[in-house]
Copies of this chain bind each other. A is one copy, B any other.
Amino acid sequence: MTDAPPSPRSDYDRAITLRPTTTPGRYAAEFSDQWLIGSAVNGGLVMALATTALATRIGEVGGHLDPFAFSGYFLTASQPGDVVVDTEVLRSGRTLTTGQVSVSQPGRGGIPVERMRALVSLGDLAASAVPIRAQAPPPMPPPEDCVSSSEQRPPGLKASALLDRLDLRLDPATAGWAVGRPSGRGEIRAWLRLADGREPDPTLLLLALDGLPPVAFDLGIQGWAPTLEFTAHVRARPAPGWLQLRVTSENLSGGLMEEDAVVWDSTGRLVAQSRQLCGVRVPDGYTVPG
């Protein structure tokens, strides 16, 4: 926060801007309606804000600033309005600093309602060497030959403000669901960058990992897929330019599915991966298409 310009020009930087409070480790922020997906603020933005708050806190006391591992448990849906972020440093070691973050908003009568609780380990990604083993990115047509989400809005997400913040280009090979032909494989691939040109950094990767439409769409399951738990590993600083993403799922039972995301940067380097457990409303008599 201390390095942020007084008036950030990027929507994202404005959204993760924190104000100090008189309580140690507590920061204030605001969720705007510019990051809504459906009727809730995008979980990726909540994670990026939480990580920024913890890094700010650690910066004040000395420690590591790049997210290495992030696990967030989503308790209630975030809404536009005032936000309070409470941070606690649990352990500061030689290579890693681990802390806890709680994001809350005032509820009825001003009583705080917790939105998300997270554990985060931070380190220094500048020290991350050339990878010894790494998943290669899947072959995909270039962004200009992909399906822009500004032209082809996912069904039921016509009014999503989040999609105006992102420049999202779906691989046509995994975009059939957008025109009523889900593949049933459970895979969506896309290019992603911020619409205002703001370049990616390690914390922004948390937003990217949660930035694609629910992979349930490719199984022919519409509707909201709320995240219960989201864990991300950031493995390298991303180079400027497009991010390449793939989300997949292999297991659907009991109204829950895992969703695995991988992000590569514009050089083809794997920079982050995540898994989330999300809820899905499976229609009566549903069978997997394809």
Contact surface of A with B, Cβ cutoff 8 Å: 68-69, 71, 73, 75-76, 90-91, 96, 98, 100, 114, 117-119, 121, 125, 127-135, 186, 219, 228-229, 231, 233, 235-236, 249-258, 270, 273, 275, 277, 282, 286, 288
Could you tell me the distance in whole angstroms from the C-beta of A66 to the nearest C-beta in chain B?
A: 11
In contact, B73 and A119 (Cβ under 8 angstroms): yes
Q: Given contacts A91-B76, A231-B275, A233-B258, is CB(A253)–CB(B68) below 8 Å?
A: no
Could you tell me the distance in whole angstroms from the C-beta of A274 to the nearest C-beta in chain B?
A: 9
- Which residues of B lie under 8 Å from residue A128 when comparing CB positions? 253-254
In contact, B91 and A251 (Cβ under 8 angstroms): no
In contact, B119 and A90 (Cβ under 8 angstroms): no
- 15 extra interchain contacts, Cβ-Cβ under 8 A, other than A133-B186, A235-B254? A69-B73, A69-B228, A69-B277, A96-B228, A128-B253, A129-B255, A131-B252, A134-B250, A233-B258, A233-B275, A233-B277, A235-B251, A236-B253, A251-B273, A275-B275
- Which residues of B lie under 8 Å from residue A282 when comparing CB positions? 132
Q: Given contacts A90-B114, A121-B73, is CB(A235)–CB(B256) below 8 Å?
A: yes
In contact, A251 and B275 (Cβ under 8 angstroms): no
